[in-house]
Structure 1
């Protein structure tokens, strides 16, 4: 490792006393359950550092495991390694807006907050995460559903090109015309084909001002609120979205259903005042116990909206989720009852929650299911189960709750809609069947894997086995 360190422009951190707090800090992830003790953490500062690390890892017998860390927001251990090497991209976080402001170049270690710092100043927008601390890389490689997706589709739909470090150390550009198979695979196929060290995204005209806020109801009004949501959905436009959450807010920890409304183009608050009126007055059936919607100037502000709640949330976090076809009352009621019972069972898991995204799928369905690796292109939404634990002893129960609830959603949705939408790669934990994620696109992904990673160097995440012809 000393010889490698001498060749690198970036840093090498180890668990010895020389690295100290820097190593401990670099191990941290959004969830404490995602942390594993890496033998080495390499923080490249130039793309050319990465081939040297790959060569070093593969020179061992057996090869050292390589994990890649972008933002570290995923609740799995995909960005960590027990005894292997973590390539930590955090130093590669430069964001550059093109001179004509029609595209933006983002390095693979950037967070969406880094991107919004640039777009906010320039008064342009890009399809990205609603949360600033989410890494651009993992978010995009899994598809990328964000606040602008109603109008502009997924982050993957807006990717123009990328720069990728391959398993053999080669650094290539990929787009629809350069290495097109690779470009097809990284848009929804996850991090199984190389390390994306740079993305180029299409930008869009300023979409603000943005409405952001919360509308909260007691759990006793669950059925009435669900009816309002279903009615509202019939008039929703691509410029409005809702995040529906099941939570037990302090200090009483009673079950509640909270809506997090968002709207684009909310000039003077006029749009949000009109489109969210049914939730504010309850359509005559129920009124919220708390309601606040404000207009903010940019996505940077929107992305920091949940900072206070995350600051106090238990850090033992497990997440799973999936797609669903519609807000079927039978589906949401089944999950509500399961969640209420689970969070009532122990104070240690009372912070666990469920999130449902209600973004218009109008733009998503305009892309063919075979145009890129992400195959779910019929009308759909996504949801996430967050199992949070305050003690180590309650972690297994929280993990089981997330797994069984996500499975319930998938199975119940298939029963009610007649369509099995499978799993959402960004909400997977790695033990899922790849056929249930990629469906008919899996054979092509396996062939591309054989072309770009025949020795399966990229083995973390939802593993895709190479298929040699």
Structure 2
């Protein structure tokens, strides 16, 4: 049996509290008891862990943990080996010319933004600090800067990848270009770390931009009785939306009364003195929100902490699913609202379940061709996250079934309204989804590249790709 010799740490069930802590994920439903947890100190440790897992009889399942924020078990393994990048490989370095930023594969976006804020640059990154860079990026990367700068994958300059055979390779448009194509929109590993199909990204190099702030941010909350007025106001706002503006919409029941409410969460770029926010949010102010807190913040680091309050008291049993929609259809949004209200009234266990819409301009996203990256969806669209949450184990099954059913409804209803079936968003998948519904016309090429880079199907977590051997 091959010995695992690395410079980092190796944790097993015998390691006590350190092992238990390393198993923790944002959702308790994502946690499985690993046989080994490797916390690498360098990229060679990652390669050694991959070789060790394959040398066992039978080979150990390999899972990769980055941010640990997803609701699936793709970043965990029952009895297998977990490479915990998020424990150690989190360095962030801004190039001396400030044209690029090097980010290790275990970093959170909070790690990135703390550095970029100090260096006065911005990158196309995640909206929340606790999201892992790796999974967010290789899943596409819908960002507060996306309207003006495109997706995170469109701003990726190069990456360093540990392959299934233990080789460590650089990939870019000029080096291993097939691999570079595949990782942009086909997760090597998820935000939560697992689900890889080609290898493990241990380093990213992103294009850097001058600061895009100050940012107009905040929350405007309304009682559920005003939902139709809010939907109409958002529909009107969409007609004048520019790439510098993103709007989030959240359905939730806030304590202490737990009444249905809808909250608008704007992010407005280049809001130097707050005047842009005042003008753009005026129609929403006219609706007289019951709670309002808006203003400007200087950088993405502060933007990314906007949800800290709600995260603090959220249930730990979370299932995340979701879908895409082609346009802001009032009848679709109202139907989602009604289904959400009905479900969250069924039990106190599941009333924390929520729905979140992200309305980002598609202007830059559609400038990239469907075949230019593995992400084939290059038509105007937005996404919605359906979060089934339960305070008890007894409510988990109902929360999951509701999230699955509602996501399917959104996909089907959008297809009826738009004439386009947008399939599934890989970031919101749970693993049982069909690959053709995620990757569309790019699936055959992905399967061929799977045979090239992982012919033995070492990477099997998540939405698995079957190697297509020629």
Per-residue CA shift, 1:249-300, capped at 9, x if unaligned?
Answer: 1111111111011111111211111111110113xxxx21111101111111
From 28, 31, 34, give the equivalent of 1:32.
28
**Which of 150, 154, 167 is 2:151 aligned to?**
154
Work out whether residues 2 and 55 of structure 2, in 8 Å CA contact, stay in contact via their aligned partners in 1: no
| Residue 243 (str. 1) matches residue 248 (str. 2) | yes
Structure 2: how far apart are the matches of 1:155 and 1:174?
A: 16
Q: Which runs of 5+ in 2 are unaligned?
A: 189-196
Corresponding residue number in structure 2 for 1:397 = 398
Match of 2:162 in 1: 165
1:73 aligns to 2:69 (yes or no): yes
Separation of aligned partners in 1, 2:3 and 2:437:
44
Contact 2:109-2:131 at 8 Å conserved across structures: yes
- Structure 1, residues 395-453: CA drift from partner, whole Å, max 9, x if none? 00000011001100000000000000000001100100000000000000000000000
For residues 322-356 of structure 1, give each alpha carbon's deviation from its aligned partner in whole angstroms, at most 9, with x where no partner exists: 11101111211111111000000001101000000
> Is the 8 Å Cα contact of residues 160 and 170 (structure 2) preserved in structure 1?
yes
Task: Spell out, residue by residue over 1:188-238, the C-alpha distance to the aligned partner (whole angstroms, 9 max, x if none).
Answer: 011211000000000111001111110011111111110110000111111
Match of 1:214, SS? strand
Residue 79 of structure 2 corresponds to residue 83 of structure 1? yes
Name 1:422's counterpart in structure 2: 423
The equivalent position to 2:261 in structure 1, one of 256, 264, 287, is: 256
In the alignment, what sits opposite 1:220? 225
Q: Does 1:338 align with 2:339?
A: yes
For residues 267 and 204 of structure 2, the distance between their equivalents in structure 1, rounded to whole angstroms, comes to 26
Deviations for 1:104-128, whole angstroms, at most 9, x for unmatched residues? 0000000000100111001110011
Distance of 1:401 and 1:464 partners within structure 2 = 27
Residue 377 (structure 2) aligns with: 376
Select the residue among 44, 48, 51 that pairs with 1:52.
48
Q: Distance in 2 between matches of 1:212 and 1:40?
A: 42
Distance 2:331 2:42 in 1: 52
How big is the shift at 1:393?
0.3
Count of matched residue pairs: 461
CA contact (8 A) 2:2 2:52 kept: no
- Choose from 165, 182, 187 the match for 1:185: 182
Distance in 2, matches of 1:200 and 1:53, equals 24
Tell me the CA shift for residue 2 of structure 1: 9.2
Counterpart in the other structure of 2:3: 3
Partner of 2:11: 13
State the secondary structure of the residue aligned to 2:417: helix
CA contact (8 A) 2:451 2:467 kept: yes
1:401-412 aligned at under 5 Å gives the runs 401-412=402-413
Q: 1:142-198 deviations in whole A, cap 9, x for unaligned?
A: 001011001101111100000000000000000011100000000001121100000
How far apart, CA to CA, are the structure 1 residues paired with 2:384 and 2:160? 31
Q: SS state of the match for residue 286, structure 2?
A: helix
Q: Structure 1 stretches of 5 or more lacking a match? A: none
Corresponding residue for residue 194 of structure 1:
199
Secondary structure, counterpart of 2:349 in structure 1: helix
Q: Quick one: distance in 1 between partners of 2:467 and 2:92?
A: 33
- Alignment of 1:61 with 2:22, yes or no, is no
In the TM superposition, 1:436-447 aligns within 5 A as 436-447=437-448
Distance of 1:3 and 1:66 partners within structure 2: 16
Q: Secondary structure at the match of 2:345?
A: helix
Match of 2:279 in 1: 274
Structure 1 segments (4+ residues) deviating >2 Å: none
Q: How far apart in 2 are the matches of 1:301 and 1:232? A: 25
Deviation at 1:20, TM superposition (A): 1.5
Provide the C-alpha distance between the structure 2 equivalents of 1:371 and 1:81, rounded to a whole number of angstroms: 33
Partner residue in 2 for 1:109: 106
| 1:355-370 superposed matches below 5 A | 355-370=356-371
RMSD between aligned alpha carbons?
Answer: 0.9
Q: Which residue of 1 aligns with 2:194?
A: none
**Shift, 1:28, TM fit:** 0.4
1:3 Cα deviation from its structure 2 partner: 3.3
Distance of 1:62 and 1:328 partners within structure 2: 51
Paired residue for 1:327?
A: 328
What is the CA–CA distance in structure 2 between the aligned matches of 1:281 and 1:73, rounded to whole Å?
36
The equivalent residue for 2:193 is none
- 2: distance between equivalents of 1:303 and 1:328? 28
**Structure-2 residue corresponding to 1:138:** 135
Distance in 2 of aligned mates of 1:237 and 1:465: 41
Cα distance in 2 between the residues matched to 1:189 and 1:407: 21
